[in-house]
């Protein structure tokens, strides 16, 4: 343990060694949420001008710690010390005035506001009773130039690509003269190249004296950019280490608490004939903009086709069109030779489609229903679950008990509401329901987002098993590592088109990243 | 608000005006009919305009308010009651009594809004149910007090309704009101003038001030507002209460400006129609005002047609029936909500309680 | 062996949970009624009455004699139907504020079939045919009146809350028109906007000789059971509840959400229409203007007080019926106008809707889940 710094060293005296000048320290932070001890006596410190990575799985308590430091929640116990003084942080106002800024994982930007309005919100410049947009714009331009952030004050935030929106968030913190910047999972929405760009900006910031807390669950990124790495697990700090003195395996071990197999065990595939065939498909989103343009591809039985791409490049609309949730505006979709273009979801499932939706709580489950009801959500209307329009509770119950044991769902009973289960077990309920039917095609959309490592490994193994049993699998994921680990072939989506299609074995991370960033447009 | 939408509004108003002019033109010069229609339209659109402004303050801050109807009804009753108390019991002159009545109406609107704010912001009650509670409570309280105070033996007013101090006098806009024919438009009563002024004030507040920026922020993305140190609950409370004041002023229209009496259920759905105006106006004050004028025109047509009953041709006999012509605002509301005249987008966090 | 033991424990655990949940479900409405009565008592005292006398009168008037009981059942009958209508819509995620209009439209159609059909056909119909025709026509009319806003919601996104209210005003205007002109009772002594009396053959008989309580009350209890069965035991009920609980998940699961919305509204309107039609065929034997006013909001209060469960709705409807019935005696004894009941009922609704107030007042533990009854604007 390396947290025992002397308080006296934190005094803002002339610095002898930059590294020991602590700007922020959390001591003995404890926070209890109903049913979860989110932070358990957490100690953490940040030195001036360093990038300190906070590494841990989903649910390890990283975001909770940062929300406590930023004043969004109050700790039950413990202190936050900023620049040597115990700080009373009751709200974001307090942390902002202490020079702390935070870029949240889900951006805190208002899409219908301009960049300038978003930046000034809460810290407005007023001239004669009205908002002074010009002064704010000038200041944004200045900050933007200084750090190479490239933010147009008059653009509507909703029109900006995700990477630029993130920069607006960074401008927001600098506009408030932040000296400590917390970045919560900032690379989750970026291509590898955009992430590189962000790392450059982070280094620029630290060079000018800004200190950065970098929250991530990706080992490689922590190793690549951090000056120090603190690992959290189940609400506790496990250790703080230097990147030069550790490696991926050791970090993974600390994160998960056991040995982790970092690769998916997968046999060579024997692809059969195409199960899913997509020809010239075009789809519009709810704003009536065409987000999928003339896409054609096929997936064969016994193979996994991964769709890589930065979020918002048409993947959501594509999978909605393939599962019957959205009417395509052009093209054809075939499942096992049947034309299912524009058919409703029920026809799709009856043709042999299993669908693991992107947003499990919103689309996959009815949270107020029991596990048993959720497990029959797609099949409730035919025998054995219902006879002549009357539900058969016994059949629902038997089905649920069978699936709970077959798919290792941790639930006190089949009658418990799905909303009471953990994220991993909720996903298992969906997977159990979808994959227990006779399935020819699996469309899995972000199947492991937000899950713990154990559940991720399990879901991955089930997907590989489906493939080995001869099903065609279409995997849509924003995690390039997941795509590369599971897929036999990879298609890259960029601005609604498939810009590349490669065998996984013949692809490299860098090449895929370039395609995801739209590099083909320049080269082709 | 796009120009196409204003175009649709202008077209509908023109058609409704046209119907009345065509029927009455042999008896009254078209110009006179048009100005009469315009003056009536602006006047009867008043409660709708204020109701829509009430909705805009609430919903821009993220609180759905379907209790506007109830707030107006309560305000109409209590404003009227206050003016009668001042006039008959305390013996004040009609004018000060009416002014106290207006203030009482605004305050009772604010009080009901405070209840709605507490229900939806503090207790996180489903906001549509909260609004329904407001409506039912307003009907119950006004009905009970109306009966208890005026119609029961031994009640304060001895079983009969005392004389009300009358209605607010109209104010002539100098110069403009002297223009021949068109001058009538500028001879309006004070609540109407206040409503029009509030449309432009609200526009300025919403889009040019810090208050407006923060209001819209908590209605679009409360968490984002919270992370930059804005107190979401306080902003929402304040805006709902301001909205209640608007509805209260709208309620005063019924008993202090339009007629000097109160009847149970007299708001007659105006609070709900003003929500349709707000939606059609895309949650903007000027757009909502324009939409209120459409409803006002429908009502003005009904009123003005009464003058020309004998001139209506037999084929158009249904225009004589006030029950049938009276359907227009309700059907118009339903048409607007279908979105066939173009969809509008509510604030993103409208109706969603904010949980930290 | 071990496995089955585990199963029984988990089941008894569930049973205990269910018991605790139902206790909890009962406690809040009960305390809400109690608190509202206390607050209502304060209002009565403030208005110069004696709350204890007033409530004694209320109780006497509602339950004090067999006649009082019969009258309470008479009052409760339309409340049960209308309350079920709103509750069913809530289960489907829809807020039907239009029970009033559906009830009025159902009553008008039912009265029309009741008085005009025999003349139109030129024969006298036997009751066994005429009653079902009158009741069925009224039900369908209510269903149609509600299906319009249902379809607008499903296919255009127009919000049902405003649309059902608009349909109320349209129904009110239309019935005013009909009852003042084409359907007006032609009796020269009549000055009221009302229809002629329906034929004897269309009248539902009383349950007991000499009392007004009629077979419609028994029907209401049966229909409450049928609604429960429909919602929790059939696939259609599963679809309605799934669309209500999570329309996105329902769509993913292959349920035709739009059709379910229209169907839910139609069923809800059917029940509201039944409320109107029973009043016409079993009680008033005609439809009179203004009789429907207020039922829509009362039905919402009843559905919420009954926790949107059919059994709860029946209990809440009987309570509301008792209050309305007893109020006349209360007014006779204490000169407190019957309108106080509206205030008390509004307070009940307020306290049931804002459970948190009751929980705070009586220091009850908060329930973990929030029941979503309706959703915001936009479709």
Neighbours of chain A (3+ CB pairs under 8 A): B, C
Nearest CA in chain B to C148: B334
**The tokens of A275 are what?**
């199960």
- Say whether residue C377 is in contact with chain B using an 8 A CB cutoff: yes
Q: Is residue C325 part of a domain?
A: yes
- At residue A472, does pLDDT exceed 60? yes
Instruction: Note the pLDDT of residue C7.
Output: 41
- Do A109 and B217 count as a contact with CB atoms less than 8 A apart? no
Q: How many angstroms away from the CA of B27 is the closest CA of chain A?
A: 51
Least CB–CB distance from B227: residue in A73, A102, A111: A102
Q: Does A470 touch chain B (CB under 8 A)?
A: no
Domain B3-338 has CATH 1.10.3470: yes
Which of C95, C337, C350 has the CB atom closest to B152's CB atom? C337
Alpha carbon distance A125, A107 (integer Å): 23
User: Per-residue pLDDT for A223 more than 90?
Assistant: yes
Where are the domains positioned within chain B?
3-338
Residue C288 belongs to domain with CATH number = 1.10.3470
Give the one of C233, C248, C252 whose C-beta lies nearest to A391's C-beta. C233
Residue A5 pLDDT exceeds 50: no
Q: Chain C closest CA to B298's CA: distance in Å?
A: 15
pLDDT at A195: 87
Provide mean pLDDT across the span C59-76: 95
pLDDT classification of C88: cutoffs 50, 70, 90: very high
- Does the pLDDT value for residue A1 go beyond 70? no
Q: Confirm whether C11 is domain-assigned.
A: no
Per-residue confidence at C377, pLDDT binned at 50, 70, 90? low
What is the per-residue pLDDT for C42?
A: 93
C290 contacts chain B (CB < 8 A)? no
Which of A409-413, A439-443, B174-178 has maximum average pLDDT? A439-443
Give dist(CA A432, CA C242) in Å, integer: 19
> Most distant CA pair in chain A: distance in Å?
83
Q: Check CB contact under 8 Å for C169 and B269.
A: yes
Which of A368, A381, A415 is closest, CB to CB, to C245?
Answer: A368
Rounded Cα–Cα distance for residues B71 and B134 (Å)? 7
Looking at the complex, report in whole angstroms how far the Cα of residue B146 sits from the nearest Cα belonging to chain A. 45
User: Of B119, B141, B148, which has the smallest distance from its Cβ to C353's Cβ?
Assistant: B119
Quick check: C125 contacting B, CB < 8 Å?
Answer: no
**Disruptive mutation site among A64, A93, A107, A110 for chain B (greatest number of B CBs within 10 Å):** A110
- Of C10, C236, C253, Cβ closest to residue A378: C253
> What pLDDT band is residue A13 in, cutting at 50, 70 and 90?
very low
- Taking an 8 Å cut-off on Cβ atoms, the answer to whether C249 and A362 are in contact is yes
| C375 neighbourhood in chain B, CB within 8 Å | 351
Handedness of CA B253, B258, B263, B267 (dihedral sign): negative
Q: What's the pLDDT score for residue B155?
A: 64
**Across the interface, do A419 and C248 touch by the CB < 8 Å criterion?**
no
- CB A413 to CB C14 under 8 A? yes
* Owning domain of residue C219: 30-361
* Res. A438 pLDDT band, cuts 50 70 90: confident
Q: Which residues of A touch C14 (CB under 8 A)?
A: 413, 415
Residue C64 pLDDT > 60: yes
What pLDDT shows up at residue B133?
Answer: 92
**Mean per-residue pLDDT for A302-319?**
91
- A1 in reach of chain B (CB within 8 A): no
Q: Note whether C21 contacts B: Cβ–Cβ < 8 A.
A: no
Please indicate whether, in this complex, the C-beta atoms of C249 and A377 are within 8 angstroms of each other.
yes
- pLDDT of A295: 95
Alpha-carbon distance of A134 to C365, in angstroms, equals: 52
pTM exceeds 0.80, yes or no: yes
C235 with A390: Cβ contact below 8 A: yes
| CB within 8 Å: B265 and C297 | no
Closest-CA distance, C276 to chain B, in angstroms, reads: 21
Mean pLDDT (chain C) is 89
Count, residues in chain A? 524
B and C: number of Cβ contacts within 8 A: 155
Taking residues C189-215, report their average pLDDT.
Answer: 91
Chain B residues in contact with C156 (beta carbon < 8 A): 337-340
Give the closest-approach CA distance of B227 to chain A in angstroms.
6
Q: Do C161 and B279 touch (CB under 8 A)?
A: no
Evaluate whether B200 touches A45 at the Cβ level (below 8 Å). Answer: no
Give the model's confidence band at C4: pLDDT under 50 very low, under 70 low, under 90 confident, else very high.
Answer: very low
pLDDT at position A55:
93
Q: Which of A367-381, A494-508, C3-17, C292-306 has the lowest mean pLDDT?
A: C3-17
User: DSSP string covering C323-367, please?
Assistant: HHHHHHHHHHHH---TTHHHHHHHHHHHHHHTHHHHHHHTTPPPP
State the architecture of A263-352+438-524 in CATH terms.
3-Layer(aba) Sandwich (3.40)
The total of structural domains in chain C comes to: 1
Contacts of B318 (CB under 8 A, 6+ apart): B324, B325
Distance from the Cα of C352 to chain A's closest Cα (Å) equals: 21
Per-residue model confidence (pLDDT) at position B227: 93
B234 inside 8 A of chain A by CB: no
Structure token pair of residue C274: 């039944």
Average pLDDT of chain A is: 89
Q: Check residues C333 and C14 and name the one with the higher pLDDT.
A: C333
Q: Give percent of chain C with pLDDT exceeding 70.
A: 91
Is residue C8 in some structural domain? no
**Do the beta carbons of residue A350 and residue A340 sit within 8 Å?**
no
**Residue C189 reports pLDDT greater than 90:** no
Measuring CA to CA, how many Å separate C92 from each of B258, C175, C374? 42, 29, 9
| CB nearest to A121's CB, from B209, B217, B223 | B217
Q: Which of C156, C356, C373 sits opposite B123 (nearest CB)?
A: C356
What pLDDT is recorded for position B150?
Answer: 81
Greater confidence (B310 vs C37) lies with C37
Checking if the pLDDT of C49 tops 90, the result is no
Among the partner residues B223, B228, B348, nearest to A121 by beta-carbon distance: B228
For residue C156, give how far its alpha carbon lies from the nearest alpha carbon of chain B (Å): 5
Residue B349: CB partners within 8 Å, gap ≥ 6? B62, B218, B219, B220, B221, B222
Please tell me if residue A377 touches chain C, with a CB cutoff of 8 Å: yes
Q: What is the pLDDT at residue C376?
A: 56
Q: Phi/psi at A414 (nearest 5 deg)?
A: -70, -15
For residue C338, name the pLDDT band (cuts at 50, 70, 90): confident
Mean pLDDT of A161-184: 93
Q: What is the DSSP string of B89-135?
A: IS---HHHHHHHHHHHHHHHHHHHHHHHHIIIIIS---HHHHHHHHH
- State yes or no: pLDDT of C190 exceeds 70: yes
Is the peptide bond prior to A131 cis by the omega test (within 30 degrees of 0)? Answer: no
Convert A349-380 into a string of H (helix), E (strand) and C (coil).
HHCCEEEECCCHHHHHCCCCCEHHHHHCCCCC
pLDDT, mean of each 10-residue run, chain B (356 residues): 83 91 87 90 96 98 96 97 91 93 98 96 90 93 88 67 83 80 82 96 97 97 94 97 98 95 91 92 95 93 84 79 86 86 83 84
Pairwise CA distance, residues A211 & A198, whole Å: 15
The residue among A93, A122, A175, A287 with the most chain B CBs within 10 A of its CB, best to mutate, is A122
- For the record, the structure tokens of A302 come out as 């016994």
Q: Which of B213, B214, B223 sits opposite A108 (nearest CB)?
A: B223
B175 lies within 8 A of chain A by CB: no
C181–chain B nearest CA distance, Å: 11
Q: Give the closest residue to A476 by CA, choosing from A320, A342, A257, A367.
A: A320
Strands B171-172 and A77-82: unpaired
- What mean pLDDT do residues A299-323 have? 92
> Are the beta carbons of B128 and C161 separated by less than 8 Å?
yes
For range A170-186, the mean pLDDT: 94
Compute the average pLDDT of residues C281-304. Answer: 91
Q: What is the pLDDT of residue C9?
A: 42
pLDDT, tens digit, 9 for 90 and up, residues C211-230: 999 999 999 999 999 999 99
CB contact under 8 A, A413 and C13: yes
Please give the angle made by the CA atoms of A280, A281 and A284, to the nearest 5 degrees: 140
Smallest CA–CA distance, residue C267 to chain B, in Å, is 21
Query: What residue in A sits closest to C371 (Cα-Cα)?
Result: A368
């Amino acid at each position: 343990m390396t947290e025992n710094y002397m308080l006296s060293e934190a005094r803002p005296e002339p610095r002898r060694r930059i590294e020991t000048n602590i700007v922020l320290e959390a001591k003995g932070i404890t926070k209890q949420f109903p049913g979860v001890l989110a932070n358990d006596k957490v100690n953490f410190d940040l030195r001036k001008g360093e990038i300190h990575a906070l590494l841990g799985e989903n649910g390890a308590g990283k975001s909770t710690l940062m929300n406590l430091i930023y004043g969004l929640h109050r700790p039950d116990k413990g202190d936050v010390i900023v620049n040597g003084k115990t700080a009373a942080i009751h709200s974001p106002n307090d942390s902002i005035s202490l020079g702390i800024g935070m870029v949240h994982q889900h951006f805190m930007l208002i899409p219908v506001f301009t960049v300038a309005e978003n930046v000034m919100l809460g810290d407005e410049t007023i001239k004669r009773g009205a908002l002074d947009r010009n002064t704010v714009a000038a200041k944004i331009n200045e900050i933007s130039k200084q750090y190479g952030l490239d933010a147009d004050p008059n653009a509507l935030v909703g029109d900006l690509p995700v990477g630029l929106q993130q920069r607006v968030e960074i401008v927001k913190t600098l506009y408030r003269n932040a000296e400590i910047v917390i970045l919560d999972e900032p690379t989750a929405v970026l291509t590898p190249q955009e992430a590189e760009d962000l790392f450059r900006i982070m280094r620029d910031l630290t060079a000018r004296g800004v200190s950065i807390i970098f929250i991530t669950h990706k080992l490689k990124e922590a190793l690549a950019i951090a000056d120090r790495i603190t690992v959290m697990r189940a609400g506790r700090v496990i250790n703080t280490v230097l990147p030069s003195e550790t490696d991926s395996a050791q970090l993974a071990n600390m994160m998960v608490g056991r040995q982790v197999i970092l690769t998916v065990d997968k046999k060579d595939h024997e692809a059969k004939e195409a199960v899913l065939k997509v020809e010239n498909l075009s789809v519009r989103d709810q704003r009536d903009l065409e987000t999928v343009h003339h896409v054609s591809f096929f997936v064969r039985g016994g193979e996994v086709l991964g769709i890589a791409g930065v979020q918002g490049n048409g993947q959501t609309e594509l999978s909605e069109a393939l599962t019957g949730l959205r009417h395509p505006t052009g093209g054809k979709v075939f499942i096992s030779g049947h034309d299912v273009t524009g058919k409703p979801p029920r026809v799709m499932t009856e043709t042999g489609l299993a669908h693991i939706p992107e947003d499990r709580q919103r689309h996959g489950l009815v949270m107020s229903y029991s596990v048993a009801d959720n497990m029959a959500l797609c099949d409730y209307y035919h025998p054995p679950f219902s006879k002549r329009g009357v539900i058969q509770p016994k059949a629902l119950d038997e089905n649920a008990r069978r699936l709970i044991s077959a798919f290792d769902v941790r639930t006190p009973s089949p009658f418990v509401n799905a909303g009471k289960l953990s994220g991993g077990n909720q996903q298992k309920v969906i997977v159990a329901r979808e994959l227990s039917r006779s399935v020819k095609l699996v469309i899995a959309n972000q199947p492991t987002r937000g899950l713990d490592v154990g559940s991720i490994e399990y879901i991955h193994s089930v997907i590989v098993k489906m493939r080995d049993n001869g099903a065609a699998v279409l995997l849509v994921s924003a995690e390039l590592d997941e795509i590369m680990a599971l897929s036999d072939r990879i298609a890259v989506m960029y601005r609604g088109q498939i810009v590349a299609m490669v065998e996984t074995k013949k692809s490299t991370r860098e090449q895929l990243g370039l395609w995801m960033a739209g590099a083909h447009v320049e080269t082709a | 608000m796009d120009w196409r939408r204003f175009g649709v509004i202008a077209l509908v108003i023109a058609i409704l005006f046209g119907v009345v002019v065509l029927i009455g033109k042999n008896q009254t010069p078209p110009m006179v009919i048009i100005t009469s229609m315009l003056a009536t339209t602006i006047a009867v659109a008043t409660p709708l305009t204020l109701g829509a402004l009430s909705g805009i303050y609430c919903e821009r801050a993220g609180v759905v308010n379907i209790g506007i109807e109830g707030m107006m009804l309560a305000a109409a009753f209590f404003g009227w009651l206050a003016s009668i108390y001042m006039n008959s019991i305390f013996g004040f002159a009609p004018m000060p009594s009416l002014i106290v009545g207006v203030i009482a109406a605004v305050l009772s609107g604010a009080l009901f809004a405070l209840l709605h704010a507490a229900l939806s912001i503090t207790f996180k009650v489903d906001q549509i149910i909260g609004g329904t509670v407001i409506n039912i409570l307003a009907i119950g309280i006004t009905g009970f007090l109306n009966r208890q105070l005026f119609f029961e033996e031994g009640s304060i007013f001895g079983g009969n309704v005392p004389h009300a101090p009358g209605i607010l006098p109209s104010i002539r806009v100098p110069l403009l009101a002297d223009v021949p024919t068109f001058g009538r438009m500028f001879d309006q009563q004070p609540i109407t003038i206040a409503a029009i002024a509030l449309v432009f004030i609200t526009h300025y507040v919403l889009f040019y001030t810090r208050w407006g920026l923060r209001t819209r922020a908590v209605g679009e993305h409360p968490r984002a507002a919270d992370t930059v140190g804005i107190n979401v609950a306080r902003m929402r409370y304040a805006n709902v209460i301001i909205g209640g004041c608007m509805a209260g002023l709208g309620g005063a229209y019924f008993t202090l400006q339009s007629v000097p009496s109160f009847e149970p259920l007299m708001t007659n759905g105006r609070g709900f129609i003003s929500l349709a105006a707000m939606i059609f106006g895309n949650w903007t004050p000027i757009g909502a005002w324009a939409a209120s004028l459409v409803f006002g025109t429908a009502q003005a047509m009904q009123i003005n047609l009464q003058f020309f009953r004998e001139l209506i041709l037999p084929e158009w006999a249904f225009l004589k029936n006030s029950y049938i012509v009276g359907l227009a605002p309700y059907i118009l509301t339903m048409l607007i909500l279908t979105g066939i005249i173009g969809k509008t987008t509510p604030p993103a966090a409208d109706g969603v309680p904010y949980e930290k | 062996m071990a496995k089955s033991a585990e199963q029984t424990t988990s089941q008894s655990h569930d049973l205990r949970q269910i018991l605790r949940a139902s206790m909890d479900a009962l406690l809040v409405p009960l305390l809400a009624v109690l608190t509202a009565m206390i607050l209502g008592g304060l209002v009565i005292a403030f208005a110069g009455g004696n709350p204890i006398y007033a409530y004694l009168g209320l109780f006497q008037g509602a339950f004090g004699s067999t006649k009082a009981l019969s009258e309470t059942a008479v009052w409760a009958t339309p409340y049960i139907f209308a309350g079920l209508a709103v509750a069913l819509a809530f289960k489907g995620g829809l807020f039907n504020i239009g029970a009033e209009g559906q009830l009025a439209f159902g009553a008008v159609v039912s009265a029309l079939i009741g008085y005009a059909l025999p003349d139109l056909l030129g024969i006298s119909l036997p009751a066994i045919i005429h009653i079902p025709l009158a009741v069925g026509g009224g039900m369908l009319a209510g269903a149609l009146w509600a299906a319009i806003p249902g379809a607008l919601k499903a296919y255009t996104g127009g919000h049902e809350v405003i649309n059902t209210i608009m349909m109320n005003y349209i129904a009110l205007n239309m019935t005013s028109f009909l009852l003042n002109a084409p359907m007006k009772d032609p009796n020269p002594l009549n000055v009221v906007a009302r229809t002629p009396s329906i034929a004897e053959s269309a009248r539902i008989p009383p349950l007991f000789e000499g009392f007004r309580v009629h077979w419609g009350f028994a029907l209401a209890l049966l229909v409450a059971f049928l609604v429960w069965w429909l919602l929790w035991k059939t696939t259609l009920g599963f679809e309605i509840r799934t669309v209500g609980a999570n329309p996105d998940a329902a769509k993913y699961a292959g349920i035709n959400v739009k059709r379910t919305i229209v169907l839910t509204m139609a069923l809800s309107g059917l029940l509201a229409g039944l409320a109107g039609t029973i009043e016409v065929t079993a009680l008033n034997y005609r439809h009179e203007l203004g009789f429907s006013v207020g039922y829509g909001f009362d039905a919402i209060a009843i559905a919420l007080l009954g926790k949107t469960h059919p059994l709860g709705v029946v209990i809440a409807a009987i309570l509301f019926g008792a209050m309305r019935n007893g109020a006349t005696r209360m007014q006779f004894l204490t000169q407190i106008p019957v309108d106080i009941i509206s205030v008390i009922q509004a307070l009940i609704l307020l306290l049931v809707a804002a459970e948190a107030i009751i929980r705070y007042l009586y220091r009850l533990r908060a329930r973990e889940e929030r029941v979503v009854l309706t959703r915001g604007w936009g479709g």
